[in-house]
Structure 1
Amino acid sequence: MIEAAMIWNEPNNKSHWDPELDPDWSRFARMAVLSADAIASENPALTKMLGGISPIDPGFITRMKEFGVLDHVDAVAVHGFPLDWNLWQIQEWPQKIGEIATVTDLPIWVSEVGVSTFGAEEIQVWGLKRTAELLLGNAPRIQWYSLYDLPREWEATTRHREAEGSSYYRHFHMGLLRQDGTPKPALEEFLRYTPAMGLVQWFHFEDPRLDDAVAWMKRLGVTNMRTGLSWADSFRPNALDWFDRQMEALAAFDVTVTFCFTPEHRGMMPHHTSPPLVPEEFAEFCATMIRRYAPGMTSASLPTQRASAA
């Protein structure tokens, strides 16, 4: 059920990786190489992906190439939100992908793209339609963010919170479904693009929306989706029970699983954006999850071929 393993989420975004602790991304690069190799050791056939970048910056990809990271992964990914957060216009999508293509020959996935309904729900309908026109057929994967609005009582994963002004509150309005599960107008438009377009849905620990999300994705004709397994959550009581339930529920889909989030007690600083004290520990977490949910074929598990009769 896992088709790709993504190493971290938006590593060039301050909300997900602390640039003060790793100003040249050398710590991230070492962790990424270790993790990619650990994943490959468990399942060589699995697609290994560099965490989707935001902003879309060819300079960051070049830095990863210089550190040798791109020699250990099979694809790179980009995230773009030109109607909400980025300083470029939606029609520049092909140009943005082209900028990355100038610095790497690896496949380029669009593993997060979306439009909020913060200003008006009609904007999301137009943005989804225009995104589909610009991107479908031009990348191996297009994954729309997201299925559900973020519940208002939860916090968005960002370093700046309310200091971002309206940018912070847009995080809560990215779904095709409202917080109460009722459809927004863009849901009907989304039906026109499945299964070519997939979905992104992050599930919080013991997320009560899991079963309803699966039912909605099946109803919408979604065949590929992206979610995450949190290294930090792995230290919670009953973590494996939750991981098992989540991955079993998603078994019907081709899943891009994102490994990320540093446990507070295992970071250089007590924050999920911190580089780990011991990067091999994150690599082992990745390997453990692949061993559990996407084990590779070994000589012992290969089917025995029967000799044909003479």
Structure 2
Amino acid sequence: MIEAAMIWNEPNNKSHWDPELDPDWALFARMASLAGAAIRAEDARLPRVLGGISPIDPVFMWNMRNRGVLDHVDAVAVHGFPLDWNLWRIEEWPEKIEEIRGVTDLPIWVAEVGVSSFGADEVQAWGVERTAGLLRGRAPRVHWYSLFDLPRAWGATTRHKEAEGSSYYRHFHMGLIRADGTPKPALDAFARHVDVFGLVQWFHFEDPRLDDAVAWLRRLGVRHLRTGLSWADSFRPGADAFFDRMMSALDAFEVTVTFCFTPEHRGLAPHHTSPPVDPEEFAAFCARMIRRYGNGAG
């Protein structure tokens, strides 16, 4: 079921890793290295990808290289949203990839790229077309974020929530399909470039959108999907049953699974962005998921 295993999500973004608890990323580097080794021990052929960095920062990648993290992964990944959050123009996509290529010879995935329809549906549709032209042939994987809009009632995974102003509300308009299930104009644009793009869709615990997502993925002809298995969710009652259902539903696709989110009771601080008390526990979670859902799973 798993095409690749991604270790964490946006480790250099304070919405996903707490720099006050780990200002030089030494704790992250140890955790990621242990996870990479654990995944390799379970399946020597499964590609391991360092979680997509956001912002795209060669200095952070240089830090990961010098701390030995890149010795435990087979690819690195970047995330970019130049029309919504980044301080660079969409035409700079090739240059941003080359910045990271200057630090490592590993393959560089574009694990998340997207445009919100916050301002206008037409902006998002144009963004799909322009991004496809800029990234075609430049990365082994390009994953569009995302299939569905985020329902407003669920809240976005950011550091300061509504205090971020319009930056926060853009999170709810990144999908090709609205929260009420109706498609946006960008969906047709995406369908014209499905040879370039895979999709990203995060599924919340017991997400009611799972079956609809599978139906849309099939209809669009999507081959590559990126999603997540939450370490924090693994402690919920019924977690394995939901994970089983989700991974079984996605069996027809080549899935990159992102392992992330610290359980509150296992962090140095009670938050999903916290470094864990014991990084080997995260590595053990990754290994267990590979045993359960990897190519050798029963």
Give your verdict on TM over 0.5: yes
- C-alpha separation in 1, matches of 2:40 and 2:69: 14
- C-alpha separation in 1, matches of 2:42 and 2:198: 26
1:229 corresponds to: 229
Amino acid in the other structure paired with 2:197 = M
- C-alpha separation in 2, matches of 1:196 and 1:222: 10
Moved over 2 A (4+): none
1:220 corresponds to: 220
- C-alpha separation in 2, matches of 1:263 and 1:229: 12
- C-alpha separation in 2, matches of 1:143 and 1:115: 12
1:204 corresponds to: 204
1:196 is displaced (CA, Å) by 2.9
1:282 corresponds to: 282
| 1:189-220 superposed Cα distances (whole Å, 9 cap, x missing partner) | 11111133100000000000000000000100
Amino acid in the other structure paired with 1:136 = R
| 1:144-186 superposed Cα distances (whole Å, 9 cap, x missing partner) | 0000000010110001101110000000000000001100001
2:79 corresponds to: 79
Instruction: Confirm or deny: 8 A CA contact 1:144 1:197 kept in the other structure.
Output: yes
2:99 corresponds to: 99
Q: Which has the larger radius of gyration?
A: 1
- 1:93-172 alignment, distance < 5 Å: 93-172=93-172
- C-alpha separation in 2, matches of 1:142 and 1:193: 11
| 1:92-124 superposed Cα distances (whole Å, 9 cap, x missing partner) | 000000000000000000000000000000000
- C-alpha separation in 1, matches of 2:233 and 2:219: 29
1:305 corresponds to: none
- Structure 1: state its 5+ residue gaps: 302-310
Instruction: Confirm or deny: 8 A CA contact 2:2 2:295 kept in the other structure.
Output: no
- C-alpha separation in 2, matches of 1:185 and 1:49: 32
Instruction: Confirm or deny: 8 A CA contact 1:115 1:127 kept in the other structure.
Output: yes
| 1:123-151 superposed Cα distances (whole Å, 9 cap, x missing partner) | 00111100000001110000000000000
- C-alpha separation in 1, matches of 2:195 and 2:218: 10
| 1:250-297 superposed Cα distances (whole Å, 9 cap, x missing partner) | 000000000000000000000000000000000000000000000449
- C-alpha separation in 1, matches of 2:66 and 2:142: 27
Amino acid in the other structure paired with 2:175 = G
Amino acid in the other structure paired with 1:49 = V
- 1:61-76 alignment, distance < 5 Å: 61-76=61-76
1:247 corresponds to: 247
Instruction: Confirm or deny: 8 A CA contact 1:268 1:276 kept in the other structure.
Output: yes
TM-score, structure 2 as length reference:
0.99
- C-alpha separation in 2, matches of 1:207 and 1:84: 26
- C-alpha separation in 1, matches of 2:191 and 2:171: 23
- C-alpha separation in 1, matches of 2:128 and 2:187: 10
Please give the secondary structure, in 2, of the residue aligned with 1:243.
helix
- C-alpha separation in 2, matches of 1:202 and 1:136: 24
Q: Work out the number of aligned pairs and report it.
A: 298
1:62 is displaced (CA, Å) by 0.3
TM-score, structure 1 as length reference:
0.95
Amino acid in the other structure paired with 1:127 = G
Instruction: Confirm or deny: 8 A CA contact 1:195 1:221 kept in the other structure.
Output: no
RMSD of the alignment, in Å?
Answer: 1.0
- C-alpha separation in 1, matches of 2:203 and 2:290: 18
- C-alpha separation in 1, matches of 2:296 and 2:31: 22
Please give the secondary structure, in 2, of the residue aligned with 1:156.
coil
- C-alpha separation in 2, matches of 1:195 and 1:83: 23
Instruction: Confirm or deny: 8 A CA contact 1:42 1:295 kept in the other structure.
Output: no
- Structure 2: state its 5+ residue gaps: none
- 1:183-194 alignment, distance < 5 Å: 183-194=183-194
- C-alpha separation in 2, matches of 1:53 and 1:288: 25
1:307 corresponds to: none
2:266 corresponds to: 266
Identity %: 74
- C-alpha separation in 2, matches of 1:137 and 1:293: 30
Instruction: Confirm or deny: 8 A CA contact 1:195 1:224 kept in the other structure.
Output: no
